Amino acid sequence: MFGMGGASFEMKDENQKMVSQLHNIGNLVRWLRVKGRSGRLSRAPLKVLRLELRGDIAACEVLARVADEWDSDLPVRVGQVHASVQALEDAVAIRCAIFKELPAVSAAVLRVFRQSTTGELELVISGTAARGEEVPKHISSLTMRAKLLGFQFYLEGGILSPLPSEEYAMSF
């Protein structure tokens, strides 16, 4: 049926866009659930603290995986290094998944927290990425790839250190 001035066509287009966007969000959530079950260096699950879509900007906050229980017989430092590498791998993978699964998103704000020994959440990775920012394939260093993709973090001896408290403010 034809609406006045094409209004019904516009409404149908908007509804289709919304359904498509909800489908894409569902794909991202399913990806996070499946890929978040276990990582390459830690079989602990990745926990999504917040996933928000506001216009063409996505924000995602996750709680990093803890060191794998099989690392418990190794020096503590080895488990911490493995957990740090896993957190960087997860951050890069989440960034890629957001842009793959949400084609309408032009920028993503990502933050990775870990639980301190006192139970407090510490921000260890933060970044804002724009669609289209890619890293050349020949850069094999995970640390360099993460930096070039817009992530801020401090590595001391291969272990992520908490970011300064001013980094906690969400620039969204």
Q: For the chain, give every domain's residue range.
A: 4-168
* pTM of the predicted protein model: 0.82
C-alpha torsion sign, points 171, 145, 119, 61: positive
The fold of the 4-168 domain, in CATH, is Diaminopimelate Epimerase; Chain A, domain 1 (3.10.310)
At 120-136, the pLDDT tens digits run: 999 999 999 999 888 88
| Terminal-to-terminal C-alpha distance of the chain | 41
User: What's residue 14's pLDDT?
Assistant: 73
Tokens matching residue 123: 């921000």
Please indicate whether residue 35 or residue 60 has the higher confidence score (pLDDT). Answer: 60
Beta bridge partners of 47: 63
What average pLDDT score do residues 92-114 get?
A: 95
What average pLDDT score do residues 8-30 get?
A: 75
